[in-house]
Amino acid sequence: MGGDLYALDFDGILCDSCGESSLSALKAAKIRWSSLFDQVNLSTEEWIIDQMHILRPVVETGYENLLLVRLLLEIQIPSIRKSSVADGLSIQAILENWLQLKPVIMKEWNEERDALIDLFGKVRDEWIRNDFSGWIGANRFYPGVADALRFSSSEVYIVTTKQSRFAEALLRELAGVNIPSERIYGLGTGPKVEVLKQLQSMSQHDGLKLHFVEDRLATLKNVIKDPALDQWNLYLGRWGYNTEKEREEAGSIPRIRLLDLTDFSEKLK
Ligand SMILES: [Mg+2]
């Protein structure tokens, strides 16, 4: 008995996919709302991509990138505004209020989560089909992570809001790591708290020490709220998509340990 089980988030812990997800979202937004892009030039597109990097910490699931693209467009071009929130909205205000803004804009734009998820997946599939190396190259694994995964003696699971097929392709092609698909819990396998419950209840995991590494503070707080998940050791990866304010808050929560990238790679090995 003994040993460790690691449940690892994917984007912002293993893989820096922000460049790819921002570009995919821009492609998807152009399909979904093509008429809004009539007045959009290259420099506006570059501005949008730059802001997307700053806003990445608010994104829980990929389709939200599409919403951010449109919201940024509405901020930049008053004549296309259809939401009530874009007027005078700052990047900082989006960072702080995304959870409140999201349902408002979705309603005002008459958009649904599932349709946007579907479109986002299709755009990625098409990019992969047409330009596989370009798509792979828009992502990068954080330094040391690929080796740590390859040589890990722990039980490793991926728990992500990404669609599994994309995480699996990146692990294989970019990191050179083969993680069996049954160890990748992607979008559609339920909320992360439910996946963690599933993992801890499997008999082959009896006696293992449980670790969950994540870069989104809100997700760790959801775990803390659930007494059934009391056995999990929780870590916030400093290198991922979180803000200084969130790292500070995490530092004040006894249950959460702040983790640096080098310590993470060491632990995993
Ligand atoms: Mg993440």
Instruction: Tell me the pLDDT of the chain (269 aa) as tens digits.
Output: 579 999 999 999 999 999 999 999 999 999 999 999 998 999 999 999 999 999 999 999 999 999 999 999 999 999 999 999 999 999 999 999 999 999 999 999 999 999 999 999 999 999 999 999 999 999 999 999 999 999 999 999 999 999 999 999 999 999 999 999 999 999 988 999 999 999 999 999 999 999 999 999 999 999 999 999 999 999 999 999 999 999 999 999 999 999 999 999 999 98
13 alpha carbon – ligand 1 mean position (Å): 6
The one-letter amino acid code at 99 reads L
Alpha-carbon distances, residue 192 vs 51, 160, 169, 179, 183 (angstroms): 27, 8, 21, 19, 14
Residue 106 in contact with residue 67, Cβ under 8 Å? yes
Q: Coil, strand or helix: which one is 230? A: coil
Taking Cα atoms as reference points, which of 36, 43, 8, 6 lies closest to residue 160? 8
56 alpha carbon – ligand 1 mean position (Å): 10
172 alpha carbon – ligand 1 mean position (Å): 19
CATH number of 4-15+140-268: 3.40.50.1000
> Residue 77 has what pLDDT?
95
Q: How many CA within 13 A on the CB side of residue 198?
A: 14
- Tell me how far apart the alpha carbons of residues 173 and 265 are, in angstroms, rounded to a whole number: 20
The one-letter amino acid code at 104 reads V
For every residue of 131-176, DSSP letters joined together read -HHHHHHT-EEPTTHHHHHHT--SEEEEE-SS-HHHHHHHHHHTS-
212 alpha carbon – ligand 1 mean position (Å): 12
Rounded to a whole number, what is the distance in angstroms from the first to the last CA of the chain?
Answer: 18
* DSSP letter assigned to residue 238: T
63 alpha carbon – ligand 1 mean position (Å): 14
257 alpha carbon – ligand 1 mean position (Å): 16
152 alpha carbon – ligand 1 mean position (Å): 20
159 alpha carbon – ligand 1 mean position (Å): 9
Give me 123's structure tokens.
């755009």
- Tell me how far apart the alpha carbons of residues 77 and 38 are, in angstroms, rounded to a whole number: 11
| Alpha helices in the chain, H assignment, sequence order | 18-32, 42-55, 64-76, 91-109, 113-130, 132-137, 145-150, 164-173, 192-201, 217-225, 244-251, 261-268
> Residue 216 has what pLDDT?
96
215 alpha carbon – ligand 1 mean position (Å): 5
For 68-79, the three-class secondary structure string (H helix, E strand, C coil) is HHHHHHHHHCHH
Domain extents for the chain? 4-15+140-268, 18-133
Residue whose token pair is 């993992």:
199
